[in-house]
Structure formats: structure tokens, C-alpha cells
């Protein structure tokens, strides 16, 4: 089956049946119905439970076979031992896709693996695509389609955006949903793959590459059963210019064992994954914070110049030096501003540090125009690919708030493709306001520099087929020697 051509009906279904539908709030067979109805899902919903006449006010069916229409998606929330028997009551060709919430399959050992293999065989025979089992399902954020039993959306919805997120871990997925909501990070799709009896993370990455509304892909990976498929998916994302941010667990023996016991994933040698990510331009994030920082920054600045020159403005010479150390270690350049730019600043603050980092000192807080004027002077040179500003605790000042909004708004309007970070202590609502208006906000200035480094260094590699079946990789203009062998093959 051509995965990319068949998954539209899974992720954008026009009809959904729920096996194990329930009227009991919070149960796995109730949550998706409640979410779909609350969100105003426009397709048809078919609750299935032989012990109920209605579920959430909808007519309830005894089995799949009692539904006359074809069904794009079946959500399965019945015990593992009943899943196959329930599906067998459908008619051949009636079902196109199934999301299986149920646990108790390959992740529990041989008995569960046998059940999973029987389910796979039936699905192949009927041409049914499977997501799961042992997964939280998915959310099509843009179209308000909630095929999940996670309670996270019940506590608040995500804004629609251009970031597609796929995770093998359901618990992490629910956590990530909440973090994205807290950050106001707009998602296009949120997908949990679980045991991956059919569709896996690579399939979902490949499908998100083809989704016109997804520009950035975030993937949480525990292991991989098909390295060639993952390689093809990352290559496709790279060629499409859609950056993939990956958090891959199992870097150590202890982590690998934990990953294998969780979803029966093949954790594999971490050095292999690391080389694969580097070869195909995926950005590896080593912490959850970094995972979100980089994903959000890539979504905010989709058209970056490839310029590795960073401008730093600080009200503290000491912290400016700390940021400079971080930038230098991460391969970012800190060119000195032109003489005329330095002269204009020194005319206003004779004791300022006019090199890069630019130390505007605390005096800038008594003349708030200095920050904006200096920022514009630096960016007007065309010599800098990003700007990082450190404001210490002054960022929380009430008198500074309106000016901060103006600074971000002006720079976003005049330099929309230049990444801008503000390091300051701000309450969450103000942090989100500035981030919605065009900056990234960090309490830790080092985290700001690390995020800028990740996105400024990311440039797609041009990969073209070779006659020997391998991949020839052409480096972007300006890229010199690499630290890793670029032609490594998975």
C-alpha cells in the first residue's frame, strides 16, 4: 500500500465509529466522542456497544456489521482479547483505517505479540491501515478531529499551526500536548503511534512531509524497526525543506532497555541514529525544553538566511560575555559592528561596550529608545543572521512592558526573517504575548543561544539519487568541512 496516498482518510476521516463507546465520562470509549461533539466534528459518528441504545445522545450500534455505510476510521477501545473478533464483524471493504487504544499486545510479551500478529494479518487481508495498538491516537488540530482518549484536550485546546508532532510514547504525547498548549505552539497534527503494528513514526513523518499545512515536524522516537523507511522519510523531509526536530531516547544502555520494555521498540545503537540524523539534516534535541524551543523557533522563522553571524545586546557586560562564550563554542560568529554604528551608540552612552556583544548597560533602561535604536542599527547593516537581547530582571518591570511590545513589533515588521530572542524574567502570559508577536523569550540566556545555534546552522542538504542506489549528498553553498562522515548509510 502507498502509505502517503492512503492516510488522508485516516487523519481526515469523514466518518468515525467507536468500538467500546461509553456514556461514562473519562473512559477511553467516551473521551473521543465527547471531544468530537464538543469540537463540532462535521462527519458522521457511530458509537458501537451492544449494551447501549444511545451514547452521548447518538444512536448506538451493536456491531460494525450493523452499520450500512463504509467507515473511514474505527476507534477501538475494547479489551485486547476482543479487538479481532469485533473487527471481524465488519464487511470486507467496509473499514479503511483503525486506531487501537487498547494495550495488552506486543508490549506485554509473547502472548500479546501473538494477538498483535493475528490483528496485523487480518488488517492486511482487509486492506485496513492500523495506528497502534497501545497508543493515544491522533488529533487533526486544524479540522477539530479528536481520535484520542487523552484527557489533555478536555482541559484546553491547542491553536492550529504548522508544526506536526509524532511520538511513539502516548504518555509523552499527552505531556507534549500540554506543553504546546502552554507555549501557544500551533500544531497541524498530533499523532501517537504506540506499538506500531502497521504505521510507524517514519510513515507519519513521510505523510506530514506531504501535508501542505505542515512546515515543521517534531518526532519523539524510542526505537526503529525499519531503518530504511526512517531514512527515506528523513530524506523526503530534507528535500521538501521541512526541518525535523528529533528527540531520540535510549542513548545509553539503561535508556535503551527502558525503551525496549516500554513499546517493544528496537532501540539500536545510538551512534547509528546520530549519524542518520546528521546525514539527512534532522535536528537532534537532547532535552524536552530544547525539543520545544527548537521546534517553536523553526515554526516562527521558516525563511532563515543561513547567516551564522549573531548580534548580542545586553544590559550586563558579564552576561553578555557568557552569551558570547556559548555562541563561540557553538560555532556562531560575533562580528564587530561598523564604526558608524559604534559611534552612534557611544554618543548616547559614552561608557557603553560598543563591540559585539554590545553592552548598553543599565542606562538603556532610563532611555528606552536606546534598545530599539541599537537593534535597528545592527540589523540594518545586513551583517547579522539573528539578534539576542538580554534584559535581566528588568524585563519584568511594569514600565518596560509596553516598550518591550513595541520593540518586538517593530523588529518583527522590519526584519521578519531575522530570529529575535529576548532573555528576561516575564510572567507566562507576557512571555506568550511577545512570542506570538515575533520573538522567542527565555529566562536562561544560554538556552536562547543554544536555540539560535540549532536553527541558524540548519540548512537542508541536497540529496540526489546515484546510479548505484545510494544517495549523493550535495552540500549547501558555504558549508565547509564536516565533523561526521556524510556518506554514512543506514
Query: In the listed set 257, 285, 303, which residue is the last one of a domain according to the structure?
Result: 303
C-alpha cell at 58: 447518538
Helix (H) or strand (E) holding 413, with range, is: helix 398-414
**CATH number reported for the structural domain that contains residue 231 in this entry:** 3.40.50.261
The answer to whether the beta carbons of residues 131 and 159 sit under 8 Å apart is no
- Specify if 254 maps to a domain: yes
pLDDT in tens, 270-327: 888 999 999 999 999 999 999 999 999 999 999 888 899 999 999 999 999 999 999 9
Sign of the C-alpha dihedral computed for residues 46, 49, 50 and 51 taken in this order: negative
CA-closest candidate to residue 273, choices 224, 216, 229, 238: 224
Interhelix angle for 398-414 vs 428-437, to 10°? 20
Query: So what's the pLDDT on residue 397?
Result: 82
Query: So what's the pLDDT on residue 127?
Result: 96
Q: CB atoms < 10 A from the CB of 335, how many? A: 14
Query: Helix, strand, coil % (nearest 5) of the chain?
Result: 40, 20, 40
Total residue count of the chain as it appears in this document: 490
CA-closest candidate to residue 385, choices 480, 297, 276: 297
Query: So what's the pLDDT on residue 5?
Result: 63
Whether 168 and 296 share a structural domain:
yes
Whether 297 and 386 share a structural domain:
no
Whether 57 and 196 share a structural domain:
no
Whether 236 and 117 share a structural domain:
no
Whether 315 and 447 share a structural domain:
yes
C-alpha 311/C-alpha 432 separation (Å) is 23
Whether 357 and 437 share a structural domain:
yes
C-alpha 172/C-alpha 262 separation (Å) is 12
> Where does residue 144 fall: left (phi above 0), alpha (psi -120 to 50 degrees), or beta otherwise?
left
- Specify if 462 maps to a domain: no
Whether 315 and 453 share a structural domain:
yes
Residue with cell 542599527: 377
- Specify if 144 maps to a domain: no
- Specify if 149 maps to a domain: no
Range of the domain at 265: 158-303
Query: So what's the pLDDT on residue 487?
Result: 31
Sign of the C-alpha dihedral computed for residues 89, 11, 33 and 263 taken in this order: positive
- Specify if 326 maps to a domain: yes
Which is it for strands 129-131 and 95-100: parallel, antiparallel or unpaired? Answer: parallel
Query: So what's the pLDDT on residue 256?
Result: 44
Query: So what's the pLDDT on residue 392?
Result: 87
- Give the three-state DSSP class for 240: helix
Whether 291 and 335 share a structural domain:
no
- Specify if 471 maps to a domain: no
**CATH number reported for the structural domain that contains residue 58 in this entry:** 3.40.50.720
Question: What does the radius of gyration of the chain's CA atoms come to, in whole angstroms?
Answer: 25
Residue with cell 553578555: 320
Whether 208 and 190 share a structural domain:
yes
Query: In the listed set 241, 275, 303, which residue is the last one of a domain according to the structure?
Result: 303
Enter the DSSP assignment of 117: H
Query: So what's the pLDDT on residue 251?
Result: 61
Torsion of CA 59, 62, 64, 70, to 10 degrees: -30
- Specify if 475 maps to a domain: no
Whether 102 and 236 share a structural domain:
no
Distance between alpha carbon 251 and the CA centroid of its chain, in Å?
A: 20
Interhelix angle for 428-437 vs 170-183, to 10°? 80
C-alpha 219/C-alpha 227 separation (Å) is 15
Whether 97 and 227 share a structural domain:
no
- Specify if 378 maps to a domain: yes
CA-closest candidate to residue 70, choices 16, 21, 19: 16
Full strand arrangement of the beta sheet holding 71-76: 44-48, 15-19, 71-76, 95-100, 129-131
Low-confidence residues in the chain, pLDDT < 70: 1-5, 251-268, 460-490
Query: So what's the pLDDT on residue 218?
Result: 98
Whether 416 and 313 share a structural domain:
yes
Query: In the listed set 287, 303, 319, which residue is the last one of a domain according to the structure?
Result: 303
The answer to whether the beta carbons of residues 91 and 63 sit under 8 Å apart is no
Q: CB atoms < 10 A from the CB of 473, how many? A: 18
User: Number of structural domains, the chain?
Assistant: 3
The answer to whether the beta carbons of residues 415 and 388 sit under 8 Å apart is no
Amino acid at each position: 500500500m502507498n502509505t502517503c496516498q492512503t492516510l488522508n482518510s485516516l487523519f481526515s476521516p469523514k466518518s468515525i465509529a467507536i468500538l467500546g463507546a461509553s456514556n461514562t465520562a473519562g473512559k477511553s470509549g467516551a473521551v473521543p466522542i465527547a471531544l468530537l461533539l464538543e469540537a463540532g466534528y462535521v462527519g458522521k459518528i457511530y458509537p458501537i456497544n451492544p449494551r447501549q441504545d444511545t451514547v452521548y445522545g447518538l444512536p448506538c450500534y451493536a456491531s460494525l456489521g450493523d452499520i450500512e455505510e463504509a467507515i473511514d476510521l474505527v476507534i477501538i477501545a475494547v479489551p485486547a482479547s476482543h479487538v479481532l473478533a469485533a473487527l471481524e464483524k465488519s464487511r470486507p471493504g467496509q473499514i479503511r483505517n483503525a486506531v487501537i487504544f487498547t494495550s495488552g499486545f506486543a508490549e506485554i510479551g509473547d502472548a500479546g505479540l501473538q494477538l498483535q500478529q493475528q490483528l496485523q494479518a487480518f488488517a492486511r487481508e482487509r486492506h485496513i491501515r492500523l495506528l497502534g495498538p497501545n497508543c493515544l491516537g491522533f488529533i487533526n488540530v486544524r479540522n477539530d478531529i479528536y481520535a484520542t482518549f487523552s484527557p489533555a484536550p478536555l482541559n484546553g485546546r491547542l491553536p492550529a499551526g504548522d508544526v506536526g508532532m509524532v511520538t511513539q510514547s502516548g504518555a509523552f504525547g499527552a505531556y507534549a500536548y500540554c506543553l504546546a498548549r502552554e507555549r501557544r505552539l500551533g500544531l497541524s497534527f498530533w499523532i501517537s503511534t504506540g506499538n506500531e503494528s502497521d504505521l510507524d513514526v517514519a510513515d507519519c513523518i513521510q505523510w506530514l512531509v506531504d501535508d501542505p499545512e505542515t512546515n515543521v515536524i517534531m518526532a519523539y522516537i524510542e526505537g526503529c524497526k525499519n531503518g530504511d523507511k526512517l531514512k527515506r522519510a528523513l530524506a523526503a523531509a530534507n528535500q521538501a525543506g521541512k526541518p525535523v526536530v528529533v528527540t531520540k531516547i535510549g542513548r545509553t544502555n539503561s535508556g535503551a532497555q527502558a525503551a525496549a520494555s516500554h513499546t517493544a521498540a528496537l532501540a539500536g545503537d545510538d551512534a547509528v541514529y546520530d549519524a542518520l540524523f546528521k546525514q539527512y539534516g534532522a535536528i537532534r534535541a537532547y532535552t524536552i525544553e530544547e525539543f520545544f524551543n527548537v521546534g517553536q523557533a523553526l515554526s516562527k522563522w521558516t525563511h532563515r538566511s543561513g547567516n551564522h553571524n549573531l548580534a548580542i545586546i545586553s544590559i550586563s557586560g558579564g552576561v553578555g560575555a557568557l552569551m558570547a562564550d556559548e555562541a563561540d563554542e557553538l560555532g556562531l560568529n560575533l562580528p564587530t559592528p561598523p564604526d558608524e554604528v559604534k559611534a552612534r551608540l557611544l554618543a548616547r552612552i559614552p561608557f557603553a561596550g560598543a563591540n559585539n556583544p554590545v553592552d548598553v548597560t543599565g542606562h538603556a533602561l532610563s532611555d528606552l529608545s536606546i534598545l530599539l535604536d541599537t537593534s535597528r542599527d545592527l540589523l540594518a547593516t545586513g551583517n547579522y543572521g539573528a539578534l539576542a537581547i538580554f534584559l535581566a530582571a528588568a524585563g519584568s518591570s511594569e514600565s518596560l512592558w509596553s516598550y518591550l511590545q513595541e520593540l518586538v513589533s517593530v523588529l518583527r515588521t522590519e526584519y521578519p526573517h531575522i530570529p529575535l530572542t529576548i532573555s528576561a524574567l516575564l510572567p507566562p502570559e507576557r512571555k506568550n504575548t511577545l512570542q506570538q508577536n515575533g520573538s522567542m523569550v527565555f529566562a536562561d540566556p544560554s538556552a536562547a543561544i543554544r536555540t539560535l545555534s540549532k536553527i541558524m546552522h540548519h540548512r537542508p542538504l541536497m540529496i540526489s539519487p546515484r546510479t548505484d542506489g545510494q544517495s549523493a549528498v550535495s552540500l549547501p553553498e558555504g558549508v565547509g568541512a564536516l565533523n561526521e562522515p556524510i556518506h554514512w548509510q543506514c
